[in-house]
Structure formats: C-alpha cells, structure tokens
Chains A and B, each alone.
Chain A
Amino acid sequence: MGKLLSIESSTVDERPRTREGFLDVSGGWPSPVGNRTKLALLICLIVVVLLGPPAHAASPQGESLVVSPAGPYTTIAEALVDAQAGDRIEVHSGTYAGPLTIDKSVALIGVDEAVIDGGGDDSVVTVTAPDVRIEGFVIRNSGDSLDREDAGIVLQKSPRATIVNNRIENTLFGVYAKNAPETELRGNEIIGMDLPLPRRGDGIRFWESPNSLIAENQVRATRDCILWFSDGTTVRDNDIRDGRYGLHLMYDNDIVIAGNTLADNSVGAFLMYSRRVTLRENIFRSNRGPSGYGVGLKDMDRVIGEDNLFVSNRVGMYLDNSPWSIDVYDEFRHNAFAYNDIGASFQPAVKRNIFTENTFLENMQQVSVRGGGQLEGNDFTVEGQGNFWSDYTGYDANGDGLGDLAYQPRSLFESLLDRHSSLRLFLMSPAQQAIDMASKAFPIMRPEPKLTDSAPLMSPVLPAIAATTPPSPVPMLAVSSGVVLLVLLVFGLIRWQPALDKRKDTRFFSSELSDAQPRANVKQIGVGSVAVKNLVSVSEEDECMIEIQGLTKRFGDFTAVDDFDLTVRPGEAVALWGPNGAGKTTIIKCLLGLLNSEGTIIVNGHDLESAGKAVRRSLGYVPQELALYADLTARESVKFYARLKDVPLDRADRVLADVGLAEHASKRVAALSGGMKQRLALGLALLANPPLLILDEPTSNLDARARDDFLDLLVDLKQQGKTMLFTSHRLEEVETLADRVLALEQGRVRVECTPRELATELGLHVTLKVYLPDADVDHALATLEAQGFTAGRNGAGVRVRVTPTEKAAPIQALSRANITVENFEIENGVWN
C-alpha cells in the first residue's frame, strides 16, 4: 500500500543533539560540572564531616558554599551574593525564605529537606542565568496571581537549566520555562494549589524552550502541562493526574511522548498544530472531563501512535482535521481502545488516517462520527490486517485469524447519538436495543456503515503495557458467596417454625364455651323485641352475642339491607331465611367486616368498627362455597389458619379427625368432595373454639346424605352451647337447627318467628306430586277439590298445593276415598 510510515524515521531521540558531551553513562542528563566535580564533592563531604562546614570549599571548577541555619551562610541569598559562576551552593535542612533570584550559573543543591518557602508572594525561585541546576529542594508557597503567573520555579531566558528531584508544592504554576532551551526537568514532584480548576496554574509550562527533556515527573492537581513552540522536546515516563489537560502541545515539531501515564484529567493530551509527533506506550486512562479525550488531535501531521492504551476515557481518541496537510498520513497501530464511552471519535471531514492492528474492546460506542455520516478516506485495513472489534459478529471459517465478513458498524441508535449527544442519557436502556432492533427489522431505517474494516482480527492484540496482574477474585467471590448465603438464610428462615407451632393444645372442644371472652368495658345492650326468650340456652339473659342496630348496606342506588336489627343471645341459633337476593349473605359479610355498611355491629362485646379483628376472633365462619387455597393440602390449610388464629398447630390433626377428614389430611383441597370441603370449613371455623359460628348456606352444595351428616355435626355443636347465626332457604334445615328465624325480603325483616311458625307466617306451601292409576285421576281430582285442596292434572297423577305442615293430608284424603296412591314427590317450598 505504501501508506505505512516508517516508525524509525519519525522517532526522535529524546536527548537533544545541540550540545556535545551532554549524556552520562546512565542515559540521564548529567550535571554540567561532570564526574571530576563529583570526586571533588566527595572530598568536600569528607572535609565537612571532619572539620565542619566551611564558608567556601575549593573545587576544581568552582567554590562550594554551604548554607544552613547554623551558618556559615544562613540564607541562600547571602550565598548567592558571594557565589561565582560554576559554584555549588549546598543548602542543608531548614526552611529558607524566598523569593529568590538566581542570576549566576550555579548549582543549588538541597540536602535533607531543604525548603524554600515563597511566603505566598510572587514566584519562589526565578532563574535568569544559563546552566543553573536546582536539585533536591522542597519549593513551596508561591503567590497565587494568574496575572503575574506566580510559579515554584521560573526559568527566564536561562538555557540548559537542570531541575531535578525537587518537590514543588502549593505553587500556582510548578515550573515555568520561558525561552529556556535544552532544559532538563526530571524526577520532580509537582503538586498544585488547592484551587478550583480554572483558578489553577500549569504544573509545567514550556514556552519557546526547544530540545528539552521532561521526564519522570509526577504532576498532581494542576491545570495543564503545556509545551508550546518547543521543538525537539521529549516527554517521557511522566505521571500526570487530576488536571485539566494532562499534556497540551501547540506548534511543536519532532516531539516524542512515550511511557507517560495521563490519568484522571479532564483531557489526557491535546495535541494541536504540530508535526512529527510520536506517541508510544503511553497510558491514557479515565480522562473524563466535559470533552474527556484520552488524546485529542487537532491539525496534527505525521502522528505515529503505537502501543498506547486508551482505557475508560470518555473518548479514547478524538481526531479533528488531522492530518491537515495533503498527502500526509497519521498512523495508529497496536493501540488498545478499551472500555471508553467512545473508542475513537472523528470529525466527519477527517481523512488519511490509518488504523491497523488496534484493539477496540468493549467501548460503549466503538467509533463515532460527529454529526453523523461515514468515514471516507481513512483506512482500517492495511496489507490485509484490520483491527479487533469486540462487537464483531462475523466468523473465521479458514482459521487465518481474520474475519471472513467485513466489520461495518451501523447502529441506528449510535447514528442518533452522533447527531444528538443529549440522547446518550438513554444509553444502556432497553429503548436503545429497541431502536436498533427496529432498524434491523426495517432496513429503510438502517444507516449506512460508519466504516468498513474488510479484514477484522478475530483476537485482540493488546499492547504490553496493558498487561497487569489479574485482580484477586477473593472480594467478588466473598460478596457473591455472601449473597447466595443470604438467600439460603432466607429459605432457612421461611422454613423455621416459630415456638407457637410447638405449643400443645389441651382445650379443643373442651367444655369452655369460648376462648374469646366478652370485653368487660363494652356496654351490654338489652335484648330487642325480636328475641324469643324461651329458646335462649344460657343463663345470662342480659348478655348478647350479636347485636346489630340499623344495619344498612347500599350498592349504588340499590339497597341490599335496609335498617336491619338483630340481637342474638349466647347459645341461641338464629336463621336468616329468604330467597336469593333477600340480603342474607350481605348481612353476614357486613358482620364479618368484608363490606362496609351503616349502623352498629357488636359481637361478643366488640364493636366491629373499632375492633374488627376481635370480632372475627370471636367467631368461626363457614362460607357458602369454601374458598381455600387449592394447592394446599387439608392439613396445610388447617395449619395456615391455625397460625393466623394463634392456635397451636397440633390441633390440626385433631380438627381434621373431629370433622371426619383424618384420612384425607394429605389430599389437596382441590381434590376434596363438596361435603369434605364443607366439613373442612367447619373444622377451620372451630379451630380457635369460638363462641359463635356464622354459617352462610352451609349445606347448599351438599347432597342429601352429606347434608344430613353436616347437620348432625351442627346439632352437636349447638348442644355444646355454640351460638349460631346461619342463612338458609331450606325449611327442614331451619326447623332442625334454629331457635328463631328472621325471614328477609328485599333487605328487610318481613317476619320473625319460630321455625314451626315460619310456613304459616309466610303463607308457604309445597307442591305434592301424587302418582295414581290413570283410571283414578279424575276421581282423585274431584275428591281433593271437595276437601278444599287446590289440585290439577299432572300426567300420570295430580299436583296438589299444600302448606308444609299438612303434606300428608292429601294422601290421607285419597286413601279414605279408596284411591290407590302409587307414589308421591314433594317439591321445594316456595316463597309466596
């Protein structure tokens, strides 16, 4: 292809070549004084140790002056006055006042925490002479004027300065090199002032200071590190964090940026208007300001980016008009763009960039074209090698490590994001997938691919600097195991039965009337006019088990129960009798608190309105149709309701035995017959041995035999003294069980009487179907009508209307007339 640029041709040796003898054997930048000076220094040190610090010490290339709180010089300024070019000023532990101006080519060496304190005014150290060395100092407390550009160290037209191993803290600017070519800034720690970002100064600012070296520095909490008009400079192995622009280049050519870590800045590095810049083995991590570029390139020509790691930035790399010259290419190879919001973001007009063998790993958006569109004129495949895309869904049939289908990202949602960045709010939401699925389903909505990589790599090619020690799985394992254990604990707690379940019961069906005694403080209301005294089976005649006054229930305009009064004494069995819709069930539901209503309901001394729970504790309820949980067994059902009623669980089996369901305890409720269900309902009603039973049409769903059995059970309970209120429309049931009947019609009490009086009071009648020989039918009709019965022909017999108390009379009349009765049937009683 011929488009690949030679890496070697653009690699700039980090060491400037404008001076001879500049390098020492260690590869670092040597002191201007050389090795012989080191020997002299050693001798001086020995002398100092033996004789104490002299004011001046001879050296082959200059004097050595000592500054310490004990003298001979007590201030650096005094020593500077006496020093000559080439002298060494050794400053011992202590704090020395700034600001200082170094106007001679001296070496200022700090020993054992020598501090130069600017006192918060102006720059702390200003260098105006060439070949000055400042090493080993703590330089702190500059002024904070952005107008004056107060700094820790200012190099003012002072070429070949060496600033090494200093700690510069709480200064507005750190090191400011103005027209200071060939400066060496190495191994310093620069910490900015604790100010809002826009008020801070630059940690490092190089202005027209070409051929310099900025290496191995740590910069924290400053604004920018700026390199302007400083060609031929090397920036390597620095660690720059918590600033605005980790590194900002403008108008610099032949720059090498290598091995740096630029993390947690607003922008990692923004490179502008420069040429021949090499980026190699840098880590750009978590730069997440408003623009949040790992690297931004603006009008940059001949950029080589190799083996860099762009991770967790808002945008890994941003390209704007780079390269800007015709026939010039920028090349990016072997870089990893991982876990950025956007891997690489392009302005739409950007062309002539080459991306090959890069890894685009799980960026939320791998590539973005600002404002939308396609990337044309950029190459993502060179000489058959593309890039690794973690969202590539193709395959490699021939196993050559390259995908057989081109990588072509064409997400509609991403396309929307490129045009409307505010929609990023909806990232990671299912609506995002919905939009992309819709675009796949309707190709007309599908955007053109942003780029085409015709030979995508099937495996990532991560740079060596990306390799780190795998994280310890222990914390995550511990957390996850803890969560699973928590779940198991929940299961365990649910299975755990409280002590309540283990209590033993000795009271079931005991002679006690009730577990729930009337409240002493409730006013007892006298028996109403409807009570039938001779049917009350308890001694305390002035007590009421149920007292209802003025009960009214409306469903919209329909009045289901109208001003209903009722008083039931302990031990009494009262029936509510009436046809469907008379209001019987509504009264029961109001009594249970299942329906709201007007009026007063007091049960066992508890007012329903204020103590509904106590009311329900005083009674057992058997509904018309048992509504139990169908997936529970009979035993489980009893236990569940026993817990609700605070009844020991060992009653469950006794209850089941007492209602004849012991053999069916393990059957699911759904599998029980109607009679069994009704008996189970009765058992549940009796669980807490309440004084009162409320039964709503208790036998309506039972066959004749089951009905008889069930009635027997109820009769037994009545004989034990249970108070009963039940609804029914079966006369025989009422006659068997009730002491008193309230016949209801349209929500009002029509008649109140004894069961035996009911038929008469209500004018009830039954129809008797009498089967006769055909020859006797006419005779029979005549006979019956003669006796006063209302009769009619009915196929093979006659139908006779009689009152419930004289059902045998027609048979007797026919017998007396010598008419043979072959058979007869009684139809149910009907409401007149």
Chain B
Amino acid sequence: MELRVITTLLQKEFRDSLRNRWFLLYTIAFGALSLGLSYFSLSGVGLYGFAGFGKTAASLINLVLLIVPLMALTIGAGSLAGEREHSTLSYLLAQPVNRTEVLLGKYLGLALALLASLGLGFGVSGIAIALRGGGTDAGSYVQIISLAYLLALTMLSLGFLISTLTSRTSVAAGIALFVWLGLVFFGDLGLMGTALVMKLEIGKLFTLALINPLQVFKMAAISGIHATLDVLGPAGVYAVRTYGDTLIVIFLAMMTIWIVLPLLASYAIFTTRTEV
C-alpha cells in the first residue's frame, strides 16, 4: 500500500463530498438544528446553572440519532456504487492502485468529511451553549462529539458494505434508507413490542438493545453525561449493576465491532469480486 495513493483518493473523496449537495444539505441541517436546539433548550435557565446541559445533551443525542446515521449511510452507500454506475471505478482500478488503497482512501476521505460536518455543527452549537450559560460540562460535550463521530463511522462502514454490494446509486440509496429506518425506528419499535409481548427479561432486553449501534451510542452518551444509566430505567440499572465500569468498554467495543466488521466485509467483497 502506498500512502500517496491513499491520501490522493482521500483528498478527492473529501472534495467530492463538499460538492455533494446532499452532504451539504445534511451538514446545514445538522448545524442549524443543533444550534437551534442548543439555543432554545437553554432558554432562561442559564442564570440558575443547574444541570442545564442535560436537556441540551438529550436533544443533541436525539438529533444525532436521526441525522448522523442518515448522512453517513447515504454517502457511504453512494460512494463505490456511484463510481461503478458511472464506470469511473473501472478506469480508476486500471491505474497503478490496488483495491485496498481505493477502499481505504475513499473511506478515510468520507470519514474526514463527516468529521468536518459534525465538527462544524457541534462547534457552532457548543459556542451557543457556552454563551447561553449552559457550559457546565465541556467534558461531556466532548464525549458526545466523540461518540457521535464513532456512530458516524459505524454507519459509514455499513454504507460502504451496501455500496460494495450494489452497482446503482439509486439501489444503494434505497437500501441505505431502509437500513436507516430499520436502525432508527423499526428496530426499536420491534424490540419494544417484543419486550411487551414476550415479557423479556431486563437482561435480555439490554443485550438485544446492544445489537443496535444507535442504542449503543445513546447509552454510551448518557452514561458519559450522567456517569450512570439509571435514567434508562430498570434496564439501565441492570446494566450498571451487572457490568459496572466495564460498561463503557462494552459500548466502545460494540461500536468498534460495528465499524470494523462491515468494513472488513466490504474489503473482502471488493477485493475478491473483481467484476466492476
């Protein structure tokens, strides 16, 4: 592998993202909504200073759960599929590059673009939070940003996996949207229904929730803010009592698995299926 090739592809992917209207739209939407949430959720409580950050953080967590997966999944899914559809991928692969370099360069470029997008949104919102008097917990804010970025990487990996399996952007985008709906809504709603109908034990409910990277992000962010998960009721208390300090390790491990496994699968498919 040559670093030069990876950085060249990374730079191109980053610049392409900035030219991508959907990506810009997501970035603007995320920035504007996070700024608005931060501004209004702190309205009037700055003088009292107590725990004002909690509500803002909860709003931001919700916003991240909605927008970040959609953004990362769709741009990831469109990456290779788009190149394949426009036949630029075969010409690119006819150059002195190997497929690992192409995959890594594209992934890192998009990862960097996501970092810039989230960084702008969180940065501007953080300044608003500070100026509105909610700046009690900068450490937790950094944790939320970091976890949101990890979530973005998990979704980007999933998007890449979709992209390696499809050759048309419309199909890739459709699958990405379906996966997003599944992770954001149907997964949780299904688990809720299962919990009620099957009368799931709390431990099993928590374990099943761990499968969804969005839930993992949410729980990790909450445990970062509150230093506990009891806000999530019996399942949260169970998690804290059962796993204690290793809970955050479990969360990070789950997110890492969600980043690495789809990416490895993408790699395996992309490098062994030579048809482009």
A-to-B contact residues, CB < 8 Å: 285, 288, 290, 292, 309, 311-312, 314, 338-339, 341, 361-362, 364, 416-417, 420-431, 433-435, 459-460, 462, 466-481, 483-484, 486-487, 490-491, 494, 498, 500, 589, 592-596, 612-614, 616-617, 621, 623, 625-631, 640-641, 643-646, 688
Contacts and interface: CB of A to CB of B under 8 A. Distances in A.
Given A312-B50, A470-B46, A494-B11, A484 B124 contact: yes
A474 B130 CA distance: 7
Contact of A487 (B7, B88, B97, B119): B119
B49 A364 contact: no
Give the 5 A-B CB pairs with smallest separation, nearest first: A424-B233, A480-B126, A476-B135, A431-B188, A627-B87
B160 interface: no
A476 B55 contact: no
B8 A643 contact: yes
Interface in B86-108: 86-88, 90-91, 93-98
B260 interface: no
Given A425-B215, A480-B126, A487-B119, 18 more contacts: A290-B237, A312-B51, A422-B202, A422-B234, A425-B232, A466-B50, A467-B48, A475-B135, A490-B115, A592-B94, A594-B275, A594-B276, A595-B275, A623-B87, A631-B19, A643-B4, A644-B96, A646-B96
Given A420-B196, A487-B115, A594 B8 contact: no
30 contacts: A285-B50, A361-B45, A364-B58, A422-B233, A423-B192, A424-B236, A425-B232, A425-B233, A426-B191, A427-B233, A428-B62, A429-B215, A430-B184, A466-B48, A468-B48, A471-B133, A474-B130, A475-B130, A476-B126, A476-B141, A477-B135, A480-B125, A481-B123, A484-B119, A487-B119, A613-B97, A613-B98, A621-B94, A621-B95, A629-B16
Contacts of A613: 96-98
Contacts of B231: 314, 341, 364, 424, 427
B55 A483 contact: no
Contact of B96 (A338, A491, A627, A645): A645
Given A592-B94, A631-B19, A479 B141 contact: yes
Contacts of B45: 338, 361-362, 460
A430 B62 contact: yes
A426 B192 contact: yes
B5 A644 contact: yes
B104 to A, nearest CB: 14
Interface of B: 2, 4-5, 7-9, 11-12, 14-16, 19, 41, 44-52, 54-55, 58, 61-62, 65-66, 86-88, 90-91, 93-98, 112, 115-116, 119-120, 122-127, 129-131, 133-139, 141-142, 145, 184-185, 188-189, 191-192, 195-196, 200, 202, 205-206, 209, 214-215, 218, 222, 226, 228, 230-237, 274-276
A483 B145 contact: yes
Contacts of A429: 62, 65, 184, 188, 214-215, 218
Considering residues B11, B124, B275, which has the most beta carbons from chain A within 10 angstroms of its beta carbon? B11
A17 B41 CA distance: 50
A480 B15 contact: no
B3 to A, nearest CB: 10
Given A434-B189, A479-B142, A423 B233 contact: yes
Contacts of A627: 86-88, 90-91
Contacts of B116: 487, 490-491
A483 B119 contact: yes
B218 A428 contact: yes
A481 to B, nearest CB: 7
Contacts of B65: 428-430
A430 B66 contact: yes
A646 B7 CA distance: 12
B122 A480 contact: yes
A341 B15 CA distance: 44
Nearest to A500: B4
Considering residues B46, B86, B91, B195, which has the most beta carbons from chain A within 10 angstroms of its beta carbon? B91
A469 B49 contact: yes
A421 B138 CA distance: 31
Given A421-B233, A617-B96, A595 B274 contact: yes
A470 B188 contact: no
Contacts of A470: 46-47, 49, 133
Contacts of B122: 480, 483
Contacts of B91: 621, 623, 626-628
Given A339-B54, A490-B115, A434 B185 contact: yes
Contacts of B119: 483-484, 486-487, 490
Given A429-B188, A473-B131, A628 B46 contact: no
Contacts of A483: 119, 122-123, 126, 145
B62 A339 contact: no
B50 to A, nearest CB: 5
A338 B94 CA distance: 62
Contact of A494 (B4, B112, B129, B191): B112
B188 A426 contact: yes
A428 B56 CA distance: 12
Nearest to B90: A594
A596 B12 contact: no
Nearest to B212: A429
Contact of A616 (B55, B94, B120, B222): B94
Contacts of A477: 126-127, 130-131, 135
A589 B90 contact: yes
Contact of A476 (B87, B129, B215): B129
Given A481-B127, A487-B120, A425 B235 contact: yes
A311 B48 CA distance: 11
Given A422-B202, A428-B61, A483-B126, A468 B50 contact: yes
B19 to A, nearest CB: 6
B134 to A, nearest CB: 8
Contacts of B139: 475
B209 A425 contact: yes
A479 B128 CA distance: 12
A88 to B, nearest CB: 46
B185 A430 contact: yes
A170 B14 CA distance: 61
A479 B188 contact: no
Nearest to A612: B98
Contacts of A592: 93-94
A782 B95 CA distance: 59
A480 B97 CA distance: 39
Contacts of B209: 425
A646 B94 contact: no
Contacts of A434: 185, 189
A426 B61 CA distance: 12
Contacts of B192: 416, 423, 426, 431
Nearest to B215: A429
Contacts of B195: 420, 422-423
A480 B127 contact: yes
A180 B142 CA distance: 53
Contacts of B129: 476, 480
Nearest to A642: B8
Given A427-B231, A467-B48, A422 B205 contact: yes
A471 B49 CA distance: 6
A472 B189 contact: no
A339 B4 contact: no
Given A479-B138, A593-B274, A644 B55 contact: no
B195 to A, nearest CB: 6
Nearest to B201: A422
Contacts of A625: 87
B62 A494 contact: no
Contact of A479 (B9, B11, B87, B126): B126
Nearest to B219: A425
Nearest to A588: B94
A595 B273 CA distance: 8
A288 B228 contact: yes
B26 to A, nearest CB: 15
